[in-house]
A and B are shown apart, each in its own frame.
Chain A
Amino acid sequence: MTTTDRDLEAPDLTTVNMGPSHPAMHGTIHIKVGLEGELIRKAEVNIGYLHRGFEKEAEAHSWQQIFPYTDRLNYVSPMLNNVGYALAVEKLLGITAPERAQYLRVIVGEIARICDHLTYMAAQTMEMGAFTPYFYVMKGRDWLWDLLEEISGARLTHSYVRIGGVAWDLPEGFKEKTLELLPRIDTVVVELDKLMTRNRIFLDRMQNIAVISAEEAVSYGWTGPCLRGSGVDYDVRKTHPYLVYDRMDFEIPIGTDGDNMDRYLVRMEEMRQSARIIRQALEQIPPGPVCTDDKLVVIPRKAATYNTIEEMINHFKLVIDGIRPPVGEVYSYTEAGNGELGFYLVSDGTGRPVKCRVRPPCFMGMAALERMITGHMVADVIPTFDTINMIGGECDR
């Protein structure tokens, strides 16, 4: 149901603007609510405050140059965006990355997923007034960022994945460091669990608030933890296994009620499952190259570029013209922190995309927010908004 401005300003309702810049909102978003006392009778959600024209920029760049832009989509799990975009271009090209690169993508992707969910937990608890768990959780995320920094050189905007593989291999001692860190992350999760999950105030504000049925969630196009919270068994990693997820042993948590609590609990369990996947991937990872050697896709090594004329020309062509995929269109989808991150790419055979569409999973969550908060109290807006885990960069692109 959509409301218009006029409805919101009905004489019997008090109009309150929350956002676009509001101390209790993480992210710039405008929620206009029509209140009767403390009850929300009407609501209107406005997004777009972080729109930077991702798709327009992408159309003016070569296929490789888009990676830094994907870092800035869901900026709490940039690695997952890197992986999603790389897989989409590889599908268009009809190539696959070497096995070791696939394992590396799984490892960095799952570390990013834990970061994503930890950020959600931090925001969820802090915005409900519990500031201490925020610091506990952020500490864990910082440790994980240290790991990602060691791999990619950057804490946030990694751009580590390449078309055809990844940029370089793991640093020395990475496996040991990760295996040593995972139990510490688990301690953080347990700490948070003990503090929040049975907390009376927390439960009162999470249980039976903003209930979305499975049918409704599907109609809203929900995916990821929100959809699974509503009891629908759909995770791209299980339903359409990509990379090497079919070799991993992990479980998909499913909620029962579709309320705020379920969306929280699903994410809580997913962090543990991600840690399981990382352990298995580190165990199974084979030696070998980390990037394909397809000359039409991968920029040659500097030494070769400077010393042979063929590689010099190849380097020049790849930088100036870019990769030239065949004419065609693909839709590729991966499981990102918030759900199905899709890329719809259209190529006309030149070095620039005709279309590079991102399907942002949290956009679908935001579309349902009006419906979720209508009929609840004004204090329910913030916890409900948090469970969607809207990331402005992804939602507004």
Chain B
Amino acid sequence: MSKQVLDRLCQRFPEAVLETHGFRGDETAVVRREEIGAIVRWLRDEPGLEMSMLTDMTAVDFLQQGHDPRFEVVYHLFSVPHKHRLRLKVQVPEQDIQVPSLAGLYKIADWLEREIWDMYGIRFKGHPNLKRILLYEEFVGHPLRKDYPKDRRQPLVRRPENEIAEVLARRGKARSLPTPGGAR
């Protein structure tokens, strides 16, 4: 069933589909980044396909695998009336880190894209309100990138180091203290 969807997609967009593969029953198409909006719109509206639900959307960082381009954004589509599924992927290079937004096609894309921005720093062109969702605005960096150390801490509330030293000095306890929340 999903294979037929993939075949129809390849027929309709022969230039935009870069690669297809199937693994353990999951069909995947890697498509050109610029075309993702048009492809998803067609998959959603085409009679017989009607992939009405964007089940999930995430990104993967292939830094350690040495892939070029480094990032992939992954879309999981599901057809509620016909019960078939399809995975779409677009490749995102680090130098030009943006993807067209699907917020106009699926309501859930708004939040899912915000999460990807938050976690990977991938920008979504045309998103109405692209800001962090799980982390706080003051957070520096994007934690699911492979070059973000797992043990780095960024407590939101902290006092400047000199202020803490001053307080301790006044109490006669001046000594070198670990920075609040680790090395940074």
Contacts and interface: CB of A to CB of B under 8 A. Distances in A.
Interface of A: 2, 4, 47-48, 51, 53, 55-57, 59-60, 91-92, 94, 216, 218-221, 223, 232, 234, 239-240, 328-331, 333, 340, 342, 344, 346, 348, 354-355, 357, 359, 363-364, 366-368, 371, 396-397
A355 B60 contact: yes
Chain A at the B interface: mostly helix, strand, loop or mixed? Answer: mixed
B42 interface: no
B155 to A, nearest CB: 14
Interface string B104-123: 00111011100000010000
A51 B62 contact: no
Contact of A331 (B65, B87, B128): B87
A51 B134 contact: yes
Interface string B51-64: 01111101010101
Contacts of B24: 91-92, 94, 328, 330
Given A218-B52, A221-B53, A239-B83, A4 B129 contact: yes
Contacts, number: 100
A330 B56 contact: no
Contact of A340 (B55, B108, B110, B112): B55
A48 B132 CA distance: 10
A346 B60 contact: yes
B80 A218 contact: yes
B133 interface: yes
Contacts of B87: 329, 331
A47 B56 contact: no
Interface in B87-111: 87, 106-108, 110-111
B54 A234 contact: no
Given A2-B110, A331-B87, A344-B74, A221 B55 contact: yes
Contact of A329 (B23, B111, B119): B23
B58 A220 contact: no
Contact of B107 (A48, A57, A348, A367): A367
Contacts of A239: 83
Give the 5 A-B residue pairs with the shortest CB-CB distance, closest first: A221-B108, A48-B134, A367-B111, A359-B56, A2-B129
B78 to A, nearest CB: 9
A223 B56 CA distance: 12
A340 B80 CA distance: 13
Contacts of A47: 133-134
A132 B112 CA distance: 38
B143 interface: yes
A216 B60 contact: no
B108 A364 contact: yes
A354 B53 contact: no
A329 B80 contact: no
A219 B109 CA distance: 9
Interface in B128-157: 128-129, 132-136, 143-144, 148, 150
B58 A357 contact: yes
Contacts of A396: 134
B7 interface: no
Nearest to A51: B134
Chain B at the A interface: mostly helix, strand, loop or mixed? Answer: loop
Interface of B: 23-24, 26, 28, 52-56, 58, 60, 62, 64-65, 74, 76, 80, 83, 85, 87, 106-108, 110-112, 119, 128-129, 132-136, 143-144, 148, 150
A253 B128 CA distance: 36
Nearest to B119: A55
Contacts of B110: 2, 367
Q: Which of B26, B76, B80, B150 has the most CB of A within 10 A?
A: B80
Contacts of A94: 24
9 contacts: A48-B133, A218-B52, A219-B52, A219-B106, A221-B54, A333-B55, A344-B58, A354-B60, A364-B111
Contacts of B150: 53, 56-57, 59-60
Contacts of A234: 80
A295 to B, nearest CB: 21
Contact of A48 (B53, B83, B135): B135
Nearest to A53: B143
Q: Which of B23, B53, B76, B135 has the most CB of A within 10 A?
A: B53
B182 to A, nearest CB: 15
A87 to B, nearest CB: 12
A219 B135 contact: no
B129 A331 contact: no
Given A218-B80, A330-B24, A354-B65, 20 more contacts: A48-B133, A48-B135, A57-B150, A216-B107, A218-B52, A219-B106, A219-B107, A220-B107, A221-B107, A221-B108, A223-B55, A234-B80, A239-B83, A329-B23, A329-B28, A348-B64, A348-B65, A366-B111, A371-B107, A397-B134
Contacts of B148: 56
Contacts of B128: 2
A232 B134 contact: no
Contacts of B144: 55-56
B138 to A, nearest CB: 13
A396 to B, nearest CB: 6
A209 to B, nearest CB: 20
B108 A331 contact: no
A354 B62 contact: yes
